[in-house]
Structure 1
Amino acid sequence: MKLFIILGAINGFIAVALGAFGAHGLEGKIPDKYLETWQTAVQYQMFHAVGLLVIGLLAGKISSPLINWSGWLMLIGIILFSGSLFVLSVTQIKVLGAITPLGGVSFLTAWVLMIIAAYKYL
């Protein structure tokens, strides 16, 4: 599905931009602990941007709701996991960390759905 390839590419672009911003714009402005949190958010966004690209390619071979759900859950995971960590890093509002595991569960579910779809349909 072209949409997931586009979403993956957009998220890859954003991850690179936010990684550069973190390395050059935030260094010395936020505590190292939160700079590491920022980098974790960037890494997970990039990993899952690649996951979205894979889903987009698989969607061309597999016509299954499992693949579509996998893609949407991966995008939701990026927003909840990486997004909450980005906001946490710059605001240092620790309660935002409670959102992060919801994104992690979305990521895990997305990968499981991709596994099931590949097993069933490839």
Structure 2
Amino acid sequence: MVLLAQVVGSLFGLLAVVFGAFGAHTLKKTLNNDQLKSFETGVKYQMYHAILLLVLSFNLNLDTSLQQYMIYCFIIGTLLFSFSIYLLVIGKAKGKRMKFLGPVTPLGGLLLVIGWGLLFYSFIANLV
């Protein structure tokens, strides 16, 4: 699980930099200001969770089921949240409506919240 968190965390970080540059240089010409802000939100959340995955992988053993569920929530949540935003924004800019992605973004956000809740719980459980 540690290796998975490190590989996915570093991949998310790499892609966040690439997508950020793509948004700042290429998409800036085709997206309106609101679309660009949405795209940037996806990039920020992706980078935040890339760093979080790496920090957790170097500081926790990730050998309990709680920690494993937490990592899965962060990985799947980031994929659903950030990547659905990218697809929605780019699709809208090209005149394509991808209505099926509408519920995907909040589902990804919910998984991120659950991941953070599990992290919080793991710290509280160690105090009690």
Q: Common fold, TM-score beyond 0.5?
A: yes
The more displaced of 7-16 and 86-95 is 86-95
SS at 1:37 equivalent: helix
CA offsets per residue over residues 43-84 of structure 1, 9 Å max, x none? 010111112112212432x53111111111101111110011
Paired position in structure 1 for 2:16: 15
Contact 1:58 1:67 in 2 (8 A): no
User: Given the alignment of the two structures, is residue 113 of structure 1 paired with residue 118 of structure 2, yes or no?
Assistant: yes
Paired position in structure 2 for 1:82: 82
Identity %: 34
| Whole-Å separation in 2 of the counterparts to 1:54 and 1:118 | 15
The more displaced of 96-105 and 17-26 is 96-105
User: Given the alignment of the two structures, is residue 69 of structure 1 paired with residue 69 of structure 2, yes or no?
Assistant: yes
TM-score under structure 1 length normalisation: 0.90
- 4+ long deviations beyond 2 Å: 57-60, 93-98, 118-122
Unpaired runs of 5+ residues, structure 1, are: none
Residue type of the alignment partner of 2:124: Y
Q: How many residues align?
A: 121
Contact 1:82 1:100 in 2 (8 A): yes
Q: Decide which of 75, 79, 97 is 2:102's aligned counterpart.
A: 97
Query: Deviation of residue 13 (structure 1)?
Result: 0.8
